[in-house]
């Protein structure tokens, strides 16, 4: 059974996205792995409303782990490694990633609550967050959020590969992207 890389692609510009460029270069290293690329902008992702939350709670209470409402939680739980590709937008990342992560956060699937706190249930040993920014990223709140959530999911190592300052006049874009690739 081959190992599985779950690639959360949150790059709406696709071929014009520098984040996508880096993510494709990163994913190319996974020869022999099953790579599941979820293009979040092409999925019918909507924020969870009351009906979806009630349904998910009922499904979890019945132990119906194969139910479609848990498909994204199962995808995250079962991955051996996770790649997140999300450009730096508004101090964070595009909303499609937040919506996906909301669906993936399911108590009893990706984490559980104990008297000592949250306990992660995911098998991934590592997650990588790739992002690019036109200017300086400063305090990257998106990266901090993803790192904290993946820690709650039990993923012991989460790395950030950030290429920033790409749109600053006179920036060596190729050099910045190459420096980011060297962090792979």
Q: What is the CATH number of the domain that holds 14?
A: 3.40.50.360
For residues 102 and 53, is the Cβ–Cβ distance under 8 A?
Answer: no
Who's near 96: CB < 8 A, 6+ residues apart?
A: 10, 12, 40, 41, 43, 45
How far apart, in whole angstroms, are the C-alpha atoms of residue 35 and residue 2?
A: 10
Confidence category of residue 13, pLDDT binned at 50, 70, 90: confident
Instruction: Report the pLDDT value the prediction gives residue 162, as an integer from 0 to 100.
Output: 97
Indicate if the pLDDT at residue 1 is higher than 80: no
Given a cut of 80, is residue 75 above it in pLDDT? yes
Please compute the mean of the pLDDT values over residues 137-155 and round it to a whole number: 94
With contact defined as beta carbons under 8 Å apart, do 41 and 96 qualify? yes
Check residue 67 and give its pLDDT.
97
pTM of the entire structure? 0.94
What are residue 35's DSSP bridge partners? 5
| Count: domains in the chain | 1
What is the per-residue pLDDT for 15?
80
Q: Is the pLDDT of residue 138 over 90?
A: no
User: How far is 88 from 132, CA to CA, in rounded Å?
Assistant: 6
State how beta strands 117-120 and 34-39 pair.
unpaired
pLDDT of residue 25: 97
Tens digits of residue pLDDT in 161-184: 999 999 999 999 999 999 999 999
Q: Which residue range forms the structural domain that includes residue 170?
A: 4-181
């Amino acid at each position: 059974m081959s190992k599985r890389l779950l690639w959360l692609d949150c790059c709406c510009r696709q071929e014009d996205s520098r984040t996508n460029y880096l993510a494709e270069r990163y994913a190319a290293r996974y020869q022999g792995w099953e790579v599941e690329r979820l293009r979040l902008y092409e999925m019918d992702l909507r924020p969870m409303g009351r009906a979806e939350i009630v349904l998910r709670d009922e499904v979890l209470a019945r132990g119906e782990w194969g139910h479609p409402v848990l498909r994204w939680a199962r995808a995250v739980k079962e991955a051996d490694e996770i790649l997140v590709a999300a450009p730096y937008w508004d101090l964070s990342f595009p909303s499609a990633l937040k919506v996906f992560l909301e669906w993936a956060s399911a108590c009893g699937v990706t984490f559980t609550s104990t008297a000592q706190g949250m306990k992660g249930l995911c098998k991934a040993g590592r997650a990588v967050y790739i992002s690019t920014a036109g200017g300086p990223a400063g305090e990257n709140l998106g990266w901090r959020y993803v790192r904290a959530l993946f820690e709650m999911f039990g993923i012991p190592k989460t790395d950030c590969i950030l290429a920033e300052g790409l749109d600053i006049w006179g920036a060596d874009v190729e050099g910045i992207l190459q420096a980011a690739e060297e962090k792979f």
